C-alpha cells in the first residue's frame, strides 16, 4: 500500500527569521508611550526584540494599563511574515484559556442577579450532565470555575485535539462517558471540560447560543469591540498567522479550529481590547457609568477558592491568584494552536499588562515579559531605578560539544546534545535550549525558563542542590517486546501523540512538547504521572489481532493510529505523479542548470575499493526503492576523493564499537535527480532535490547510508526505513525506541566528526563539507569492459 503522509513545512527557522522585523513598525493602530512611560517602554522594547530574535517569534503585541488609561500599545514583527503585514495593537490573536475569564464573568452576572448560586449542584441546571462520580460529593459551578471539580481535562469530543467542530451540547454530553479523576474540592485539576460545562449552563439558562450571549452581555458592554468567540469577517481579516513547531524542527501554519469546548478556549481578541477589559477591572467593574460587575463580585473572583487558612495563591473564580514583589497579582495564560497569551495585573495598584505572540506554546516568554513589565511599572510609580532584565547569550559551540552527553543523579537522567549551534537539555518531560548567563547555564527557550546548571569540569553538573555525574556512552537495552505494538504515532496531523520508549519506560509525548513517563497498570493500560497536564488520567490501548495497537484512549480522548510510513522491513513507496516513460523523456531532453565558479576537477572514488568491510545495498540499481523502478545500470557508489577518505575514517571509528557502514547511494547523475523531482508529489518534495539547483549527490559529495552490526552482519533497525518520506525520517524525530535513536545518533556523530553534515529531513543523508567546490555532473553509470567487473566507469 502506498502511504501519503501529511508533511507540514512552512519555511526553515532561519528563513522565517529573515522575514521578521523585530522592531515595531510605524502604524496608526499602535499607541505611543505616554511621556512618563518612555523609560519603561524602552526597556521592554530591548527585552522584546531580544526574545523575538532568540525565540524566532513572528509577531508579538503588548499593552500596558495604568488605572483608566492604556499608556502604551504596540506590535512587533509581522502578523503575516510572508505578506509583510505588521503586527499592531489591533492585530487579532486567539487568546486560548483567557476565554475562561469571560465565560466565568457571564456566570457571575447571573449570580449577582439571583438567577443561580455558585454552590448549587450542577444537576439542577443540567440534569443530563452525569459523568461517573464514585466519590458521592456533588459537582457545583464554584468547583468547575476554580478547577476543583475533579473532572477530566478534556471532553471526549470537542476537545483540544478534535477537528470535527462539534456543538457545545454534544461536547458536554460526551462527558457522561467519563469518570471524575478526583473527589470534588480535594485537588486542583485544570479542566477545559469544566469550563465548557459552565458555558453550556449559560446557554441553557438563557436559551441563546453561548457566543451570542457572551458578546451581548459581557464583551460589548465592556467595550471590547474587536473580540468574539466566533470569528467574523473583520476578525478573520486581522487575525495573525500563527505557527506550530516540534522538537524535530517541523513547522506549519496553525489550524484555525473552532473547538467544541468554545467557552474554555475559543475567544479572539486584541491587546487593545484586553487593555479595555483591564480598565473595567480597575474601575471596580464599570465601563464608564455602566456597571458590568459589582466590586464585591470581582473580589470574590480574585480570592483563592477552597484555600487553606492564610493561603494567598491558587485559583479564584476564573483568575489565577499570585504575588509579585509582595503585591497581590491576578491573571491568566492562554495557549491555543499557534498562539500564546498572558494577562497579568496588580489590581490594588491598578497596573496591568497584556502580551501575546503567534508562536505555539511560547507562554513562558510572554509570562516573563508581562511580569517584567509590572515590575517596571511599580518601580516607575515608586520612583525607583528601573530594573533591567538579564538577557542570556548562546553557549559557545566548543563548550557545547564538550558538555554533550548523559548525566545521572539517582534515577534521574539529564541529557545534553549540541544541535546547530544550540545546546539542548532533556530533563524531566521537556527538551529546552540552554544559554549562558555569566558562568551559569540556564534553561531558556520557548516553553521553559529558569533551571540553572553549573558545570564542574566536563563530568559534573550542579543543578540546584543535585549533582549530576557523566556516565559513559552505552547502547540502551531493547524495548520490551510487549511495547513494540504500542510504539508509534496516534492522533491528527495538527496534534500528534507520540508513544515512544525512553530510558526503559514507555512515554507519551503529547501536545508536541510534553513527554510523560507512563506507569504500566495492567496489560495495555498505563497511567500518566502525578504531575503535568494529565495527572490522574489513563491511557488504554486497543490492539488488532496481529498485536499492533490501532488506537489509544488517552485521558478520555481517542487517538487513532497514524499510518505515517512503511512497516518495519518494508520499503516505502510513493504514487509517482508521472509515468516512467514520460520521466525518462524529460530527463533525456533536459540539461543541468548552468554554473559559474572555479570548481575542482571531479575525482570520484569507488567506495567498494576503500575497505572490504563496508557493505552496499544500492537501492536505485534495483526495484527496492521508493519508486519501485531501476535507475542505475550498475550497483556502484562513488564519492569525491576527500569525501571518500572522510567516509572511510567514519567507518573505521564505528568498527571500534561494533558497527560498520552500509551504503545505499552516493554519486547520482543529475538526470536521475530530475526524474525523482518530476515523479514526487508536491507535499513530499522536501525529500528529493530540486534539479534546478542540483543535488549534492550530483556533485559526488553526498552519501545515503545506515549501520550494520559487525557480529550479525545485519542492518540495524532505525526509527524509519531508508527513503521513507515521513516525519520519522527527520534526524531529531522524537519517536521510536531509545535503542533506535541511539543508533541514529551514533551514525550522525561518526559522520559529522569527519566533516559531513546530516540533511535536516533525512537521518541517512550526509553532505560533505566541500560540496560547493565540485560541479554538478550528469554522467551515467555504464557497464565496465569484460575483465573489469569490479570497476565502474564514468563515460
- What pLDDT, on a 0 to 100 scale, did the predictor assign at position 322? 96
**Other Cβ atoms closer than 10 A to 549:** 20
**In whole angstroms, what is the distance from residue 558 CA to residue 220 CA?**
38
Per-residue pLDDT band at 13 (split at 50, 70, 90): very low
Does the structure show a pLDDT above 60 at 729?
yes
- What pLDDT, on a 0 to 100 scale, did the predictor assign at position 21? 55
Does the structure show a pLDDT above 50 at 759?
yes
Average predicted confidence (pLDDT) for the chain: 93
Domain 93-381 maps to which CATH number in 3.55.40.20, 2.60.120.10, 3.40.710.10, 3.30.565.10?
A: 3.40.710.10
Mean pLDDT of 208-217: 97
Does the structure show a pLDDT above 50 at 790?
no
**In whole angstroms, what is the distance from residue 401 CA to residue 717 CA?**
27
Give CA separation, 101 vs 106, 219, 268, 341, 343, in Å. Answer: 9, 11, 13, 13, 11
The percentage of the chain sitting over the pLDDT mark of 70, rounded to a whole number, equals 95
**Structural contact between residues 473 and 408, judged by C-beta atoms closer than 8 angstroms:** no
Domain with CATH 2.40.128.50 in the chain: 481-560
**In whole angstroms, what is the distance from residue 400 CA to residue 19 CA?**
28
Element (H, E) at 244: strand 243-245
Tens-place pLDDT, residues 445-500: 999 999 999 999 889 999 999 999 999 989 999 999 999 999 999 999 999 999 99
**In whole angstroms, what is the distance from residue 565 CA to residue 581 CA?**
27
**Other Cβ atoms closer than 10 A to 668:** 26
- What pLDDT, on a 0 to 100 scale, did the predictor assign at position 565? 82
Q: Which of 20-24, 367-371, 522-526 has the lowest mean pLDDT?
A: 20-24
Cell numbers of 457, please? 569540569
User: Among 691, 765, 755, 688, which Cα is nearest to 731's?
Assistant: 765
Per-residue pLDDT band at 566 (split at 50, 70, 90): confident
Cell numbers of 624, please? 527496492
Per-residue pLDDT band at 158 (split at 50, 70, 90): very high
Give CA separation, 46 vs 51, 52, 391, 556, in Å. Answer: 9, 10, 10, 44
Element (H, E) at 73: strand 69-80
Return the bridge partners of 508, or none.
499, 516
Domain 481-560 class, CATH top level: mainly beta
**In whole angstroms, what is the distance from residue 73 CA to residue 274 CA?**
11
**In whole angstroms, what is the distance from residue 303 CA to residue 301 CA?**
6
Q: SS3 for 7?
A: coil
Tens-place pLDDT, residues 394-450: 999 889 999 999 999 998 999 999 988 899 999 988 999 999 998 899 999 999 999
Tens-place pLDDT, residues 76-121: 999 999 999 999 999 999 999 999 999 999 999 999 999 999 999 9
Residues with Cβ within 8 Å of residue 287, at least 6 apart in sequence = 221, 222, 223, 276, 279, 280
Q: What is the DSSP string of 534-546?
A: TTT-EEEEEE-TT
- What pLDDT, on a 0 to 100 scale, did the predictor assign at position 568? 73
Domain with CATH 3.30.1380.10 in the chain: 580-794
**In whole angstroms, what is the distance from residue 19 CA to residue 409 CA?**
43
**In whole angstroms, what is the distance from residue 438 CA to residue 415 CA?**
22
In degrees rounded to 5, what are phi and psi of residue 678?
-70, -25
Q: How far is CA 177 from the centre of its chain?
A: 30
Does the structure show a pLDDT above 80 at 214?
yes
Domain with CATH 3.40.710.10 in the chain: 93-381
Cα dihedral sign, 161-164-168-172 = negative
Cell numbers of 579, please? 509515468
For domain 580-794, say whether CATH 2.60.40.10 is its number: no
- What pLDDT, on a 0 to 100 scale, did the predictor assign at position 428? 87
Does the structure show a pLDDT above 50 at 527?
yes
Under CATH, which number does the domain 397-471 receive? Answer: 2.40.128
Per-residue pLDDT band at 23 (split at 50, 70, 90): low
Amino acid at each position: 500500500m502506498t502511504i501519503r503522509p501529511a508533511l507540514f513545512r512552512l519555511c526553515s527557522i532561519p528563513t522565517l527569521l529573515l522575514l521578521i522585523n523585530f522592531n515595531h513598525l510605524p502604524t496608526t493602530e499602535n499607541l505611543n508611550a505616554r511621556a512618563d512611560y518612555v523609560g519603561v517602554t524602552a526597556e521592554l522594547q530591548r527585552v522584546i526584540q531580544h526574545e523575538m530574535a532568540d525565540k524566532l517569534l513572528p509577531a508579538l503585541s503588548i499593552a500596558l494599563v495604568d488605572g483608566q488609561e492604556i499608556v502604551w500599545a504596540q506590535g512587533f514583527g509581522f502578523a503575516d511574515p510572508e505578506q509583510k503585514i505588521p503586527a499592531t495593537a489591533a492585530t487579532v490573536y486567539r487568546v486560548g484559556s483567557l476565554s475562561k475569564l469571560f465565560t466565568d464573568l457571564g456566570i457571575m452576572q447571573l449570580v449577582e442577579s439571583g438567577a443561580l448560586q455558585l454552590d448549587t449542584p450542577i444537576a439542577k441546571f443540567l440534569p443530563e450532565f452525569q459523568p461517573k462520580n464514585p466519590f458521592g460529593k456533588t459537582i457545583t459551578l464554584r468547583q468547575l470555575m476554580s478547577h476543583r471539580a475533579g473532572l477530566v481535562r478534556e471532553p471526549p469530543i470537542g476537545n483540544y485535539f478534535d477537528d470535527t467542530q462539534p456543538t457545545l451540547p454534544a461536547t458536554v454530553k460526551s462527558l457522561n462517558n467519563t469518570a471524575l479523576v478526583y473527589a470534588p474540592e480535594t485537588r486542583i485539576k485544570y479542566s477545559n471540560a469544566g469550563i465548557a460545562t459552565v458555558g453550556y449552563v449559560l446557554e441553557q439558562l438563557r436559551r441563546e447560543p453561548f457566543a451570542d450571549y457572551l458578546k451581548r452581555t459581557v464583551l460589548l458592554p465592556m467595550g471590547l469591540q474587536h473580540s468574539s468567540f466566533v470569528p467574523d469577517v473583520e476578525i478573520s481579516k486581522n487575525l495573525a498567522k500563527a505557527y506550530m513547531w516540534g522538537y524535530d524542527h517541523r513547522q506549519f501554519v496553525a489550524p484555525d479550529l473552532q473547538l467544541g469546548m468554545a467557552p474554555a478556549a475559543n475567544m479572539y481578541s486584541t491587546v487593545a481590547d484586553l487593555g479595555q477589559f483591564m480598565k473595567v477591572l480597575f474601575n471596580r467593574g464599570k465601563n464608564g457609568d455602566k456597571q458590568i460587575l459589582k466590586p464585591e463580585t470581582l473580589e470574590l473572583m480574585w480570592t483563592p477558592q477552597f484555600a487553606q487558612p492564610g493561603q494567598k495563591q491558587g485559583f479564584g473564580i476564573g483568575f489565577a491568584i499570585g504575588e509579585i514583589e509582595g503585591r497581590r497579582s491576578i491573571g491568566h495564560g492562554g495557549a491555543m494552536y499557534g498562539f500564546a497569551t498572558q494577562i497579568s495585573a496588580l489590581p490594588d495598584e491598578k497596573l496591568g499588562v497584556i502580551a501575546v505572540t503567534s508562536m505555539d506554546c511560547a507562554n513562558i516568554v510572554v509570562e516573563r515579559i508581562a511580569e517584567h513589565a509590572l515590575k517596571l511599572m511599580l518601580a516607575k510609580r515608586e520612583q525607583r531605578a528601573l530594573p533591567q532584565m538579564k538577557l542570556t547569550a548562546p553557549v559557545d559551540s566548543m563548550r557545547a560539544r564538550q558538555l554533550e552527553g548523559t548525566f545521572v543523579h539517582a534515577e534521574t537522567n539529564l541529557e545534553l546534545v549540541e544541535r546547530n549551534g544550540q545546546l539542548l537539555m532533556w530533563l524531566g518531560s521537556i527538551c529546552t535550549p540552554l544559554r549562558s548567563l555569566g558562568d551559569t547555564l540556564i534553561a531558556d527557550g520557548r516553553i521553559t525558563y529558569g533551571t540553572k546548571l553549573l558545570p564542574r569540569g566536563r563530568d559534573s553538573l550542579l543543578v540546584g542542590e543535585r549533582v549530576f555525574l557523566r556516565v559513559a556512552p552505552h547502547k540502551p537495552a531493547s524495548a520490551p517486546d510487549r511495547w513494540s505494538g504500542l510504539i508509534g504515532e496516534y492522533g491528527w496531523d495538527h496534534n500528534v501523540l507520540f508513544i515512544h520508549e525512553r530510558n526503559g519506560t514507555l512515554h507519551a509525548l503529547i501536545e508536541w512538547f510534553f513527554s510523560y513517563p507512563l506507569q504500566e497498570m495492567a496489560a495495555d493500560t498505563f497511567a500518566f504521572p502525578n504531575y503535568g497536564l494529565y495527572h490522574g488520567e489513563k491511557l488504554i490501548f486497543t490492539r488488532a489481532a496481529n498485536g499492533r495497537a490501532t488506537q489509544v484512549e488517552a485521558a478520555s480522548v481517542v487517538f487513532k493510529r497514524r499510518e505515517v510510513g512503511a512497516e518495519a522491513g518494508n520499503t516505502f513507496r510513493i504514487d509517482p505523479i508521472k509515468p516512467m516513460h514520460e520521466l525518462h523523456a524529460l530527463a533525456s531532453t533536459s540539461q543541468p542548470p548552468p554554473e559559474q565558479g572555479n570548481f575542482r576537477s571531479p575525482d570520484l572514488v569507488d567506495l567498494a575499493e576503500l575497505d572490504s568491510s563496508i557493505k552496499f545495498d544500492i537501492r536505485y540499481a534495483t526495484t527496492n526503492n521508493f519508486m519501485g523502478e531501476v535507475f542505475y545500470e550498475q550497483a556502484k557508489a562513488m564519492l569525491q576523493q576527500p569525501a571518500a577518505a572522510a567516509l572511510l575514517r567514519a567507518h573505521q571509528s564505528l568498527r571500534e564499537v561494533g558497527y560498520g557502514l552500509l551504503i545505499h547511494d552516493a554519486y547520482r547523475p543529475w538526470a536521475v535527480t530530475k526524474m525523482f523531482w518530476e515523479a514526487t508529489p508536491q507535499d513530499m518534495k522536501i525529500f528529493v532535490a530540486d534539479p534546478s539547483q542540483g543535488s549534492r549527490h550530483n556533485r559526488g559529495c553526498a552519501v545515503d547510508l545506515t549501520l550494520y552490526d559487525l557480529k550479525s552482519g545485519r542492518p540495524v533497525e532505525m526509527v524509519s526505513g531508508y527513503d521513507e518520506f515521513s516525519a520519522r525520517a527527520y534526524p531529531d524525530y522524537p519517536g521510536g525506541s531509545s535503542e533506535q535513536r541511539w543508533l541514529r545518533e551514533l551514525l550522525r556523530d561518526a559522520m559529522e566528526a569527519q566533516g559531513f553534515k546530516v540533511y535536516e529531513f533525512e537521518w541517512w543523508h550526509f553532505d560533505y563539507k566541500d560540496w560547493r567546490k565540485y560541479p554538478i555532473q550528469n554522467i551515467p553509470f555504464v557497464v565496465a569492459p569484460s575483465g573489469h567487473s569490479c570497476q565502474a566507469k564514468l563515460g
